[in-house]
Amino acid sequence: MVRAAVATLEHLYLGHRRRFNLWALLILLALAAFGLRQFLLDAGVIGLAAGEPTTWALLGVFLAALVCEYMDSSLGMGYGTTLTPLLLLAGFEPLQIVPAVLFSELLTGIAAGAMHHRDGNVDIFRNALARRTFLLLALLSAVGAVGAVLIAVKISAFWFTLAIVVIVLAMGLMTLVTARRRIRYRAGGILAIGLVAAFNKGLSGGGYGPLVTSGQVVSGVPAKQAVAITSMAEALTCLVGLGAYLMLKGGLDWSLALPLVTGGLLSVPMATATVRGLAEERIRGAVGGMTLILGVVLLVKLLG
């Protein structure tokens, strides 16, 4: 597994050397910004407001977003499903997390769609199948996301968190089950998949990619196109869900949203470049296993 990962990274660097070097420079600049913030805090030049995250907490959010969005833009799954329970375990509240995750995925989805186009993974302008699938998923996503938000803002934090735990566990199981085989479903199943996935997205900030990506593949959409279409459709889902949250609840936690956006955006250029060389079965299995572990840990913390 380690050798395969090293070989993939080596191939990625040789094929996209300029992009890799620029990406590494941007990562270093971002880390330097965190270091500067901590230096200013230690020197007493700036202070932390009540409830404001520490530099180390923000750095952890940044790195988690970087890794999770890399998986998401490469496989069409793994960002919100993995990141939301991590942020819950870190002590953030559900109504802090979900809008911030939706905002970050709105921007990263747009960026990933553009980069997938640039790297030749999809072309919705010339490919009628890809365009039709994208528009259909986008329409269903809007309906599902709004329905989920209407529920999320009316339930208690306990039940909201419990709902997220159930979704996380279900997504982990589904990811493991579908890692090595295709699941058959009736004609029109992609309609239900798009609707349910958008509902999950609006409620928990995750769970969209595993359903929609696998649903497209078993519907006959090529895997690379399915990953790219998922990123673009997910961006529209996030836009609708975020708009509903802001209208019904108001406000966005920028201290959480900014490191999420920064980490997510910095992962996109390299993620879209590695779509061809990834061993999808192994990585999907790893995503499913980790998601299950996070779900169990979160459930223990919630009930403990």
**64 belongs to a structural domain:** yes
Q: What is the average pLDDT value for the chain, to the nearest integer?
A: 78
- Mean per-residue pLDDT for 140-166? 72
Give the CA angle between residues 28, 8, 182 to the nearest 5°: 120
**263 belongs to a structural domain:** yes
Residue 187 — pLDDT band, cuts 50, 70, 90?
very low
pLDDT above 60: residue 156: yes
**pLDDT for the residue numbered 185:** 39
pLDDT digits (tens, 9 = 90+) for 194-204: 777 777 767 66
Count of Cβ atoms closer than 10 Å to residue 279 Cβ = 12
pLDDT above 70: residue 143: yes
pLDDT above 80: residue 147: no
CB of 210 closer than 8 Å to CB of 239: no
| Residue corresponding to tokens 């790195």 | 63
Domain that holds residue 231: 50-303
**pLDDT for the residue numbered 206:** 66
- Rounded to whole angstroms, the Cα distance separating 76 from 61 reads 20
Residue type, 104: S
CA atoms within 13 Å, Cβ hemisphere of 243? 12
- Mean per-residue pLDDT for 12-36? 85
Long-range Cβ contact pairs of 87-92 (< 8 A, separation 24 or more): 87/61, 87/256, 88/161, 88/164, 88/298, 89/294, 89/297, 89/298, 89/301, 90/57, 90/60, 90/61, 92/256
pLDDT digits (tens, 9 = 90+) for 37-83: 999 999 988 888 777 888 999 999 999 999 988 888 777 767 877 78
Reported pTM: 0.77
**214 belongs to a structural domain:** yes
**pLDDT for the residue numbered 94:** 83
pLDDT above 50: residue 276: yes
**pLDDT for the residue numbered 204:** 66
pLDDT above 60: residue 280: no
pLDDT above 80: residue 236: yes
pLDDT: which is higher, 102 or 226: 102
- Rounded to whole angstroms, the Cα distance separating 262 from 260 reads 6
SS3 per residue for 67-127:
HHHHHHHHHCCCHHHHHHHHHHHCCCCHHHHHHHHHHHHHHHHHHHHHHHHHCCCCCCCCC
**pLDDT for the residue numbered 108:** 92
Give how many domains the chain has, as a whole number.
1
**248 belongs to a structural domain:** yes
| Residue corresponding to tokens 């061993």 | 279
Buried b / exposed e over 190-212, threshold 16 CB at 10 Å, is beebbbbbbbbbbbbbbbbbbbb
Residue 128 — pLDDT band, cuts 50, 70, 90?
confident
- Of the candidates 87, 90, 101, 81, the residue with the CA atom closest to the CA atom of residue 149: 101
